Amino acid sequence: MKITILTLFPSMFEGFLKNSIIARAVANEKIEFECVDFREYATDKFHRVDDTPCGGGAGMVLQCQPIVDCLKDVRMPNSKVVMLTPSGRVFNQKVAREYAKDEHLILLCGHYEGFDHRILNYVDEELSIGDFVLTGGEIAAMVVSDAVIRLQEGVIRTESSNDDSFENDLLEYPQYTRPIVYDGHEVPSVLLSGHHENIRKWRLEKSLETTLEKRPDLLQNRQFTKEELKMLQNIKKNKGIK
């Protein structure tokens, strides 16, 4: 898979690409990553990429020409172009898995007061990472890239990603490591039993319990197994939830 970032600040990604799982994924050629400064496509002598908004107003708006010319240069037949903007659909784990299947993902980072609306004619979709505003799309691009890269085959163990929070609309179960007792707090005995089926059931029950407590909205449209329904009923009964 290849990820291309269109940005005015490519240096922001230097640290992102040099650490931990991302660096190993690039070094092992599990992912190809490039940053393109679309200011290089500006045609005026000052290399301007923005101008004042039509109709008046504060701030500056990114112009069509530099971005569209840049897109024409980097886009391939198999590319998906995503504009990072507050008005896009909200990013989540399902979207990350969707993007992870693409051969070439292009992420367009905005700045200032946003994009000239006509640029939408040259992208495939808009994407937001949440209901808040950032100074630019670079941090959002890192979020999306990180979530997508770790889903590529060989980057991390498949069983690790399958148990992540938001997979199958559940939050992850609690995790523990040594020491077995710390400051009077003990690791649950079931995790030390060596009984794999009991451990599986405990983890599933705790995932359901944690999701019900912290993100009940995730359970609203979930298709439960008979085992999960029984567990969920017991959890609600013990907590006095109808």
Q: Which residues are annotated as catalytic?
A: 86, 113, 150, 164
Distance CA 69, CA 7 (A): 13
Measure CA of the first residue to CA of the last residue in the chain; give whole Å. Answer: 47
219's CB contacts (< 8 A; 6+ apart) are: 169, 208, 211, 212, 232
Strand intervals (E) in 162-223: 181-182, 185-186
Place of tokens 């990013």: 91
| Nearest alpha-carbon partner for 62 in 10, 124, 113, 6 | 113
> In Å, how far are 31, 65, 76, 144, 155 from 23, measured between CA atoms?
10, 33, 25, 16, 10
Grouping H, G, I as helix, E, B as strand and the rest as coil, residue 158 is helix
Read off the tokens for 13.
């990604």
Query: 10 Å Cβ neighbour count for 135?
Result: 9
Grouping H, G, I as helix, E, B as strand and the rest as coil, residue 32 is strand
